[in-house]
Amino acid sequence: MELKNKIVLVTGSTDGVGRVVAERFGAAGARVLVHGRDEGRGKATVAAIEAKGGRAEFLVADLASLAEVRRLAEAVRERTDRLDILINNAGVGTGGQGAKRQVSADGYELRFAVNYLAGFLLTSELLPLLKKSAPARIVNVASAGQQAIDFDDVMLTHGYSGVRAYCQSKLAQILFTIDLAEQLKGSGVTVNALHPASYMDTTMVRQAGVTPWSSVETGADAILNLASSSALEGRSGLYFDGQRESRADAQAYDERARRLLRTLSLELTGQPSSTSREQHS
C-alpha cells in the first residue's frame, strides 16, 4: 500500500514502538493522527513528525474510559472523512511482580479494558470510515504472551496476576481479529494481529522489571509490514510473530470462544448485539 497522503490513526503513539511507527508513517507522506494520554508528549511527537516534513495532529484520550474512546472516535470523524489505516497499539503492560488488580473507569479489569475492549470499541466506531476508504487496513498489536480466556471469570476476580491479565487481554485481541476478519469479508477492509518483537526497549517492558532485548525499530518494522506490505493485500484474519505468519493460542481458532467474546464485548461496551445490528444494517 502506498502511504503518501493516506490517513492513519495510531493509538498509543506518544511513546515506545507506537511513536516510532507514527514517525515512520509521517516520513512516508501519510497524515498521522497521533493518540495518547499526555498533552506534552503528544505535542512533542507531532513536532518531531512535522520537523521532518510530515503532517500530524494530536488527539488526547484515556482508553481506560469507554466514554473517552467514543470521544476519540468522534474527534477522528470531525477531522477526516476517511481513514486508511488503524493501528490499535495502545496498551498496559503486566505491571511487574506483585501487580495489584486495577479497574477501569467503567469498573472492568484494567488490562482487559485498555488492551482489548478499547480497541474493540474504537474499531467498531470507526468501521464506517474504514469501509468508505477501502482498501483499508486494521492492525492489532497483540503479543506472543497469550492465555486462554476464562469466560467464567473474565475480570479475574480470583487468582489475579498482572501477567495473566495481560496475556488474556492480548489473546482477546487475536480472537477479535479473526472474528472481525470474517465479518469484513468482501468489504475491502482487512484486519491482522501481531506480536511485534519480544521485550522491546519500552517503558512498559522496563516497568515490568525486564531487561529489553529487542529494539522498538524491529517492532515498528513488523507493524509497518502489516500496515503497508503489498504481499498482504486482501489477506485478513492472520496472526504474525514479527514479520512471519504464525499460529496463536488454540483458543483463537475456537469459533465458540470467539462468539462468546463478541457477545460479551458488545454487552460491556453497550452496543447492540450482532443480530440486531445485522437487522438494521
162-183 vs 118-132: helix crossing angle, rounded to 10: 20
Kind and range of the H or E element at 164? helix 162-183
Query: Residue 43 half-sphere exposure, CB side, CA atoms within 13 Å?
Result: 2
Kind and range of the H or E element at 39? helix 39-51
Q: How far apart are CA 121 and CA 102, in angstroms?
A: 20
Active site residue 166: yes
**Can you tell me whether residue 28 is helix, strand or coil?**
coil
32 phi and psi, to 5 degrees?
-105, 125
Q: Which of 166, 199, 239, 253 is catalytic?
A: 166
Catalytic residues: 166
